[in-house]
Structure 1
Amino acid sequence: MGVAGLPYVGVVERRARVAVRHRLAVGARAGRPEEVADALVALHGTDPATVHLAVGARLAEAAGTVAETGRALYGERTLVRMHGMRHTVFVFPTELTAVVHASTGLAVAARERASLVKDMAKAGAPDAAWLKEVEESTLAVLGRRGEATAAELAGEEPRLREQFAYAAGKSYEGVHTVSTRLLRVLGLEGKVVRGRPLGSWTSSQFRWALAPEHPELDIAEAQAALLRRWLTACGPATEADLKWWTGWRVTEVRRALAAIGAQEVRLDEGTGYVVEGDVEPVAGPVEPWAALLPALDPTAMARQHRDWFLAPELRPALFDRSGNVGPTVWWDGRVVGGWAQRADGEIVWRVLEEKGVGRDALTAIEGEVERLRQWVGATRITPRFRTPLERELAVG
């Protein structure tokens, strides 16, 4: 139960913080996608639809979600899609790119480049000096074009089409193209980012663009800055939560906690942390709220420990085998069910936990269903990582 004498932050307060700080309560909704990204620190970008759906659920006027999110990502570039924590693609506020790159990307990038050079050497492909030439040429092409697909880049730099065998003799052997592996490395190194999709806002095929220029930061300072930002938005959290979200070693988490002077609090699952002084309750009463959040939504995925907002018995229906959450229905700070879209566009949902879900809750959820239906329109959404309940609902 934690150390006696520490300030206690209970379930009711934690749910109130999510309602307000994650822009989910009606009165806390945002006006622009940038405000949503700032509130959540990072939007999961592995599934492109998640970015728009997570933003739309939190905007006061959801009707302009696609256009406004596109403006932020591709017009004004106030948001950037790039690799971040745990090798995962996220959308971050542009001012965070340097912090994310230094705090989570450098070590991963070094390993990925070394792995690429090693795999190419094993296959008898050209050496690291050749790869460096191709890299510099590719970046120069992007500088001239602004944005380009991998195929368009290879049209001007044919060496990107070179192929090499991977894991020969293994069950997972295959053939890799230089462009695929090199662009991933350049993304991890903070040199390129994903640009406009080739199709609609649900497309996973992206153009590439040069990354915004940013200063090189000290790793420890960047980790402290990122942890402070995340705890402000998502605290309280346990050490295990922080290690899981960042992908850092436990020693790095502890160093960052000490650097920002994080304050210990008592949670139901043990000792947690908040930024210094963040122990007072959320100001004012928070009205009950409903939300339809997408697969991989940051609120559901931000922590390792989720019992305070998600009953353990609901997990088998709402998560896939790799631990990815599917579309969820929320009522007043907790997950109560899931939703899906059928082939004809109908949005269907099911309550899995009926305790506390009365008529007012059902009416509010129906309102969110209609709100989502209106702004999604004719677009069809199929999560990249499908879960048991989503599959069942989608087929009727």
Structure 2
Amino acid sequence: MFSKILSATTVVLAATQMVSAQTSTACDPTKKTCPDDPALGTSVSIDFTKGKNDLFTDAAGTTLKYDGNGAVFTINKATDAPTITSNKYIFFGKVELVVQAAPGAGIVTSFVLQSDDLDEIDWEWIGSDKAQVQSNYFGKGDTTTFDRGAYHAVANPQDNYDTYTIDWTKDYVRWIINGNQVRELKYADAKSGTRFPQTPMQIKLGTWCAGGPDSPEGTAQWAGGRTDFSQAPFVAHYKTLTITDYSNGVKNAEKYSWSSGSDGSYGSINVITGDGSSSSGSSSSATSSAKSSATSGASSATKSSETKSTLSTATVSATASGSATSGSGSSASSTATSSGNNASASASSSGSASAANTSAPVATTNGALKTGFSVSALAAGLMVVFML
């Protein structure tokens, strides 16, 4: 199994073949004034077997079909990267997805939460890996370390429909498969909270090719090898999605507004409600610690601050060659699904949330912690990204 033999050396090699930071944002509120984020502010259940849902916007070049198995994400060529992004944000919350991953070496299926300042939480599947799924996270676009990823056992995710959940609060992130928790990240474990994902996020779903002819060798190896397009199409089915916005404990949220000079800590985010009132979660002591160092870490870790992320990555072939048509490549979707594997070497998509240079690896259950790479990062050199 490729995941068993991918060594640290290979990861480093992959890194040398990638451009720096693949993740990007249309507007980083820690660096300038940006529009408020529209809040979901409630719970919704989406059944993609009934067709397109207005909560999601298709990335440029994305054309989806819907059938009894849900939203059909299809890869026919290396530049395909169908992706959809929610047009509203959650500020902590629980997201539960029922999905059947796409098969095929080099094909990546992604489920990502991502914020305007590049906090990120991911699930991602490699088409040729029939025994496990990867989890990852980032904070402030920090990819200075690649020890955030982990693997978790799941049988034949390309043949079965399984339920993958992200439960995200100001205190922890939990990754859950079919009702069983397989990993937990606590606030303090993410470099004393400074790399803990904690700002309003969009939900991004997408599928892309990391094993195309123009993909760096390290990236293709991470993704299970070169893609054999004679076996196309490669199809992922996203069946149902349940989203609960915790709104940082505030009811009737309509918008999330970043305070001027925000350092990317959750206490600097104001929840605007329907009656026009505003409240924030800055009362927690954990917030102050994040505030003290979040900004400095963010600036140093993301010198390419406005670089894109996980799902936000589209295949490079489309951009590099300039042949990207309105779909797959260039727009390949601001989320161009790489879900989080952005890390060059470790392929960590958007930020090294947690465990900065020397912090201890995050404990996992039923999953061996690896050098932690994320689809986006690995896909870096081959993808073109854009934010919706």
- Bin the TM-score by the shorter chain: under 0.3
Would you tell me which structure has more helix in proportion to its own residues? 1
Highest RCO, 1 vs 2 (Cα 8 Å, sep ≥ 6): 2
Asked which structure has the greater CA Rg, the reply is 1
Q: Give TM-score, length-normalised by structure 1.
A: 0.23
Q: Which structure: greater strand fraction?
A: 2
> Normalised by the size of structure 2, how large is the TM-score?
0.24
